[in-house]
Structure 1
Amino acid sequence: MNFHAREAMGARLCNEALDEPIDEIERASMMDAAAQKLTELFDVLRIDHANDHNTRDTPKRVAKMFVEEILAGRYTAPPRITEFENALAYDQLIVTGPIELRSMCAHHLMPIYGSAYVGILPSAEGKIIGLSKYDRIVDYFASRLQIQEELVKQIGQYIEDMTKPRGVAVRISAVHMCKTQRGVRASRRSRMVNTYYWGELAKNAELKREFLDECISLDRAGQE
């Protein structure tokens, strides 16, 4: 399907939000249609969903899970940002994490799970957002079909746009079950780590080092 055909259907790339959040009527209709297609898939795979007590309602459950959980970040509005006055003109690095991350691989529809860390270099003249909002931002962009290389950048760019800091860093460390449960069947300890830097955090090697040191410290503290 080309770009113009997607536009006509109101479709978007798998890790993009729709133009407008869907309402309850659209949500119910989407789940019903998805359940029907999943029923057809079960028929193709010769799974008896009509008589097997284990799979009788599975198409409906899976359809609801995709719409309301796994892909929720496509169909809902972005998280509201609560801002606080930076009364004392704080301008030093803030790092928060580990933030629980759960997503779904766009290539094989297998779970991605791990941790995200966010570093913010606030502007002395700007504002500071509520700490829990970083968790909500991560969850919002993770709740789509994703690849980690794009997810880390989407999170960082949204924080830039919404808070106008002097610098941003986002780091993700995650297990990809498309690698551990299929294909090469790698160890469950096998992870992918990548980082996105912007502004002063992209230019200043000392700030980068401080951010990475804080990520290591937070990760160790979370394991205690």
Structure 2
Amino acid sequence: MMNFHTRDLNLARLCNEAFDQPLSEAERAVMMAAAAQKVEELFDILRIDHQNDHNTRDTPQRVAKMYVEELLEGRFNAPPRITEFDNAQAYDQLIVTGPIALRSMCAHHLMPIYGQATIGILPAADGKIIGLSKYDRIVEYFAARLQIQEELVKQIGQYIMDMTAPRGLAVRISAVHMCKTQRGVRASHRSRMVNTHYWGEMADNAEFKREFLQECIALDRSGPA
């Protein structure tokens, strides 16, 4: 059986990097069992009774499963498949999609990050167009790992650039960081971090940037359907 206590540290990855190969079901089971044991040890240190307390009896196992199968699943799974469609009408104007729900975890304090992403694409007239839902999948994939927002916005965009080669791209994230609202200064939940990164013609053309940001404002104001 694989031992995650003594496993070769050369297999370790940065917190927001994916594994070279997706984890098998057997590897997931071993990882969750080892993680649950460590949560039990943490509870022992914090003097939390996880054996007799009905509230916390199964918590170590639940936490381990949550980290492996939900919060950090973007590290252990293959990236989303891209569904491409022919750009039959040679459409080459700005496409904006969002807000896309974003949920991640702060790499510094293991606290939730939540908000939304908006993506602007300048398709190539002779290229392909991908299904809109794939942008949501891409955001979800890179958010499901320990992150800082400055790197997350670039990971999302660079993957789209590498996989679809548009003329230009913009990715904007607006998110609340609970490491700021639930601890430390305990800021208002209205306190957000907003950052945007541009590629290709979106980086070079001020008019495209202005149009993208106007669409972001309009989408923010529209609220949920």
Give the CA deviation at 1:211: 0.2
Number of equivalenced pairs: 219
Query: Structure 1: where are the runs of 5+ without partners?
Result: 1-5
Aligned to 1:104: 105
Q: How does 1:28-107 map to 2 (within 5 A)?
A: 28-107=29-108
What SS does the aligned partner of 1:119 have? strand
What SS does the aligned partner of 2:38 have? helix
TM (norm. structure 2) is: 0.95
Q: Does 1:20 align with 2:48?
A: no
Partner Cα separation in structure 2 for residue 198 and residue 56 of structure 1: 49
Partner Cα separation in structure 1 for residue 123 and residue 160 of structure 2: 11
Q: How does 1:69-218 map to 2 (within 5 A)?
A: 69-218=70-219
Q: Report the aligned-residue RMSD.
A: 1.1
Letter paired with 2:119: V
Asked if 2 retains the 8 angstrom alpha-carbon contact of 1:167 and 1:202, the reply is yes
Partner Cα separation in structure 2 for residue 166 and residue 36 of structure 1: 49
Give the CA deviation at 1:32: 0.2
Asked if 2 retains the 8 angstrom alpha-carbon contact of 1:169 and 1:197, the reply is yes
**Counterparts in 2 of 1:75 and 1:96: CA distance versus 1, 3 Å:** same
Partner Cα separation in structure 1 for residue 192 and residue 65 of structure 2: 29
Partner Cα separation in structure 2 for residue 221 and residue 23 of structure 1: 42
What does the per-residue CA deviation read over 1:6-62, in whole Å, with 9 as the maximum and x for residues that have no partner? 985311100000110001000000000000000000000000001100000000000
Asked if 2 retains the 8 angstrom alpha-carbon contact of 1:98 and 1:222, the reply is no
What does the per-residue CA deviation read over 1:67-121, in whole Å, with 9 as the maximum and x for residues that have no partner? 0000000000000000000001000000000000000000000000000000000
Could you tell me the percent identity over the aligned residues? 80
Moved segments of 4+, more than 2 Å: 6-9
